[in-house]
Amino acid sequence: MPITWYEGIVQKIAEEAPNVRRFWVEVPEKIDFQAGQFVTMDLPIGDKRLQRWRSYSIANAPDGTKVLEFCIVRNPQGAATQYLFDVVKPGSALRFKGPDGAFVLPETIAQDLVFICTGTGVAPFRSMLLDLQQSGKSYRNIHLIFGTREASGILYRSEFEALAQSMPRFKYDVALSRQPDWAGYQGYVHQIYLEQYAQTRPDVDFYICGWARMIDETVQNLLLTLQYDRSQVHFELYG
Residue 135 covered by a domain = yes
CA–CA dist 126, 232 (Å, integer): 20
Average pLDDT of every residue of the chain? 96
* CA proximity to 118, closest of 230, 215, 50, 202: 215
Residue 106 covered by a domain = no
Query: Of 80, 100, 120, which residue is a domain's last?
Result: 100
The CA-based angle 55-126-59, given to 5 degrees, is: 35
In tens, the pLDDT along 195-213 reads: 999 999 999 999 999 989 9
Same domain, 203 and 87: no
Residue 107 covered by a domain = no
Residue 205 covered by a domain = yes
Q: 80 φ, ψ to 5°? A: -65, -50
pLDDT at 3 over 90: no
Same domain, 126 and 209: yes
Query: Of 71, 100, 129, which residue is a domain's last?
Result: 100
Domain that holds residue 52: 5-100
Q: Number of structural domains, the chain?
A: 2
Of the pLDDT bands very low, low, confident and very high (cuts 50, 70, 90), residue 237 is confident
In tens, the pLDDT along 78-89 reads: 999 999 999 999
In tens, the pLDDT along 91-138 reads: 999 999 999 999 999 999 999 999 999 999 999 999 999 999 999 999
The answer, yes or no, to whether the previous bond of 99 is cis (omega within 30 of 0) is yes
**pTM value?**
0.96
User: Percent of the chain having pLDDT more than 90?
Assistant: 95
Of the pLDDT bands very low, low, confident and very high (cuts 50, 70, 90), residue 20 is very high
CATH of the domain at 161: 3.40.50.80
Of the pLDDT bands very low, low, confident and very high (cuts 50, 70, 90), residue 238 is confident
pLDDT at 227 over 80: yes
Of the pLDDT bands very low, low, confident and very high (cuts 50, 70, 90), residue 4 is confident
CA–CA dist 84, 10 (Å, integer): 11
Q: What is the pLDDT of residue 58?
A: 98
Of the pLDDT bands very low, low, confident and very high (cuts 50, 70, 90), residue 179 is very high
Q: What is the pLDDT of residue 1?
A: 65
Count helices and strands (H / E) in the chain.
6, 12
In tens, the pLDDT along 29-61 reads: 999 999 999 999 999 999 998 899 999 999 999
Same domain, 129 and 216: yes
Query: Of 50, 76, 100, which residue is a domain's last?
Result: 100
Q: What is the pLDDT of residue 93?
A: 98
Q: Is 190 helix (H, G, I), strand (E, B) or coil?
A: helix
Same domain, 212 and 138: yes
CATH of the domain at 62: 2.40.30.10
